[in-house]
Amino acid sequence: MGEDRTNDELMPSDVASKHDEKELLRALFSELLEIDDVGMNDDFFDLGGESLMAMRLVARIEERTGTRLSLRDVFDWPSPAELASRLPANVERPA
Amino acid sequence: MTNADRTRSDALTELIRASTDRRWSHRTSGAGVVPFAAGIEAWSHELRDGGVHEGDVVRANVSRGTDWAELVLAALRLGAIVWLQAPIDGPAWELVAPQGGPPLGTDTALVLPTSGSTGSRKHVELTRRELVDFGSVISDRYGLTDSDVVMLFTEPPFDVVVEEVFGALAVGATIAAPEQRVMMPIEFAECCGQLDVTVANLPTSYALQLARLAPGPLETPLKTLVIGGERLSWDGAEAVLATFPGVKIFNAYGLTECCVTSTVHEVGDPAIARADGTRPLGVPIGRPLDGVRLRVVAEREGAATVSDMVTDTDPDPDPDPDLVTDTDPDTDPDPDTDTDTDLVTDPDPDTDLVIGELVVGGRRVADGYLGAPRSRPGSPFAPEVGGTWFSTGDRVAWQPSTDLYWFLGRYDNQVKIQGQRVELEYLEQQCAIVDPGWRWAAIPVRSSFEEVTQIRLVSDNPALGDSKERARVERAIRARLPSPRLPVKVTYVHDMPQLQGDKINRRLLETRMNEDGGR
């Protein structure tokens, strides 16, 4: 099981949505990769994802959240926890 | 140019010089339009300072993009031979001791690995004359001009990069390198817009994925889209046409051994093009390019059917029985449904098709694999008076009345997935090493557009019923694959379908896997 590390920079009000986003991403990884127990810090590509599957991932993230990520985001931020940080609620939070 | 006396003088050098004089340029999103001449000149200095002379072998280690094109052209202008390899960490190039390897031809320009998944890679040589010839033929076929901007999409050493660079070079078209290779549909369209890309050459699997995921028609400056590498169904072609409206789409087919591309077909209007009995075959791969000769070794009637349009006397009309019927009587009760070769529904019998193995000849076929004599038994290269012929192992249909060809599949258990050729038996062997004592079957899964999207590694080892164990085995298998990014998935079945004698019923397994996981 992957450990769900807490992010020190989180604002308290973000915690709930942040958690949901990570869980959503974990579920999407799991669905696409057909792996039951994806860890929050597991790398999409180490789990057997490749670029065409990463495209499906980005498309599904847009479907579910309305946020259009770049494919590069998946390459640069390949775990559910990291990728969640690219979703706007987190990106736009005050510094 | 200060180094004029240090360049090799032949048609290729002339072409590089002519294009750079014409302000041949490239574009990147950061730097705008950059003339090629400066980059080539800089690499030339570096290569000469590093002791590179005519005839030396330089290993190119630049990953991709315009740097790659500049380095290769600089080396070729000096008369050096460029050895292409998958990029590794290290210097951009290195000099390889000429005596260290097999002897290379005096006109050799590039040494390219051929696409293959098993063990050691085979290499072929492309000559300077072939690069000039091929660039001219392919740019003519696609109708490229010096006002075109060709996207440098392909990552070396994959051979399509030769088509992109030398096709553009032939007419002085601009080359544009996107910052990122694989992009989402909107990103791809935006990138084409930013760089004014008019010509792109994409693997079939990627073009289909763009079509599947695009929210609608994509607005781009594209005029020409070349796709190739896998069989293209009409449904797939229609999806691509709908995604890139008004763009001329070509379906290309070829092998590294025969200088990248051998046949090209302009897709045209599917409604007209498929209104005959050939629809089940998918989109044709077209007709041979100038300088290419084709034969089909027919499966039936026992004798070779020579489909070469040039009068050709085949000294050996008997097809090799191993090549023309790949049936294993032990595993397959019905010889007409063997391996992967009949995934296509039989075409209408009225369509006068000749089905068999494609053999490619003509002036751009390599002389053989590097370091392997072509006359060796089992070599796919056959030297004949007038040139070498290469047995592709690809199953094709040929329609004499139209001279069109269709790619149907492979005679061996090789599948193409994301542009890579993969031997299913090789995958099974690797599985058996990781998980000895259990039966494994590598089963290709296809999308609704019929291209292979994934390979299921199927076993009935009960331990694999546990998802953690399955993940562990999958990781161990993946570590043994030639590319760790190959889309493989370990799958457990509790009832492995069988034929007599404990053999796995692959056909049934494939049907099941495609029902389960093909979506």
Query: Has residue A8 got a pLDDT over 50?
Result: no
Give the single-character DSSP code of B90: S
Element (H, E) at B389: strand B387-399
Candidates A43, A50, A58, A62: best to mutate against B (most CBs of B within 10 A) is A50
DSSP state of B184: -
Closest CA of chain A from B482, distance in Å: 14
Best A32, A47, A55, A73 member to test B by mutation, with max B CBs in 10 Å, is A55
Name, of A34-48, B353-367, B475-489, the range with top average pLDDT. Answer: B353-367
Question: What is the band of B417 on the pLDDT scale with cuts at 50, 70, 90?
Answer: confident
Complex ipTM: 0.76
How far is residue B95's CA from residue B398's CA, in Å, rounded to a whole number? Answer: 45
- Taking an 8 Å cut-off on Cβ atoms, the answer to whether B418 and A35 are in contact is no
Nearest residue of A to residue B481 by CA position? A48
Categorize the per-residue pLDDT at B26 as very low, low, confident or very high, splitting at 50, 70 and 90. low
Quickly tell me which residue has 């457990």 as its tokens: B492
B159 interfaces chain A, CB cutoff of 8 Å: no
Of A37, A48, A51, the CB nearest to B182: A51
Q: What is the pLDDT of residues B261-304, one digit of tens each?
A: 999 999 987 777 666 778 888 999 999 999 999 999 988 653 33
Nearest by CB to residue B467, choosing from A36, A50, A68, is A36
Residue B386's pLDDT is 83
Residue B93, pLDDT score = 92
Between CA B273 and CA B279 the distance in angstroms is: 8
**Most confident region among B122-126, B382-386, B486-490 by mean pLDDT:** B122-126
Distance to chain A for B186, nearest Cα, Å = 9
Distance from CA of B274 to the nearest CA of A (A): 28
| pLDDT surpasses 90 at B204 | yes
Tens of pLDDT, residue by residue over A61-85, are 999 999 999 999 999 999 999 999 9
The yes-or-no verdict on residue B149 having pLDDT over 80 is yes
Q: Where are the alpha helices (DSSP H) in chain A?
A: 15-33, 51-65, 71-76, 80-84, 88-91
Residue B425: both structure tokens together: 């038996």
The residue-averaged pLDDT of B79-90 equals 87
Confidence of residue B245 (pLDDT cuts 50, 70, 90): very high
A47 CB neighbours in chain B (<8 A) are 471
Q: Do B467 and A53 touch (CB under 8 A)?
A: no
A43 touches chain B (CB under 8 A): no
pTM of the model: 0.81
Q: How many CB atoms lie within 10 A of CB B255?
A: 23
Mean pLDDT within B177-195: 91
Q: Quote the pLDDT of residue B250.
A: 98
Select the more confidently predicted residue: B21 or B328. Answer: B21
pLDDT exceeds cutoff 60 at B384 = yes
Does any CB of chain B come closer than 8 Å to the CB of residue A56? yes
**Are the CB atoms for B240 and B218 separated by under 8 Å?**
no
The reported pLDDT for the residue numbered A90 is: 54
Identify all chain B residues contacting A36, using CB atoms and an 8 Å cutoff: 467
> Cα(B475)–Cα(B432) distance, rounded to whole angstroms?
14
Q: Could you tell me how far CA B312 lies from the centroid of its own chain?
A: 28
3-class secondary-structure state, position B72: helix
Q: Which of A74-78, A90-94, B311-315 has the lowest mean pLDDT?
A: B311-315
CA distance to partner chain A, nearest, from residue B184 (Å): 6
Phi, psi of A38 (to 5 degrees): -80, 130
Rg of the Cα atoms in chain A: 12
Residue B334 is predicted with a pLDDT of 39
Question: Percentage of chain B surpassing pLDDT 90?
Answer: 44
List strands edge to edge, sheet with B123-127: B93-96, B57-60, B81-84, B108-113, B123-127
Please give the residue that has the higher pLDDT: either B166 or B374.
B166
pLDDT tens by residue, B424-450: 888 898 898 898 888 899 999 988 778
Residue in B418, B441, B419, B417 with CA at minimum distance from that of residue B429: B441
Task: Check residues B461 and A37 and name the one with the higher pLDDT.
Answer: B461
Contact B180/A71, CB-based, under 8 Å?
Answer: yes
Residue B99's pLDDT band, with cuts at 50, 70 and 90, is low
Query: Does residue A26 carry a pLDDT above 60?
Result: yes
Mean pLDDT for all residues in chain B: 82
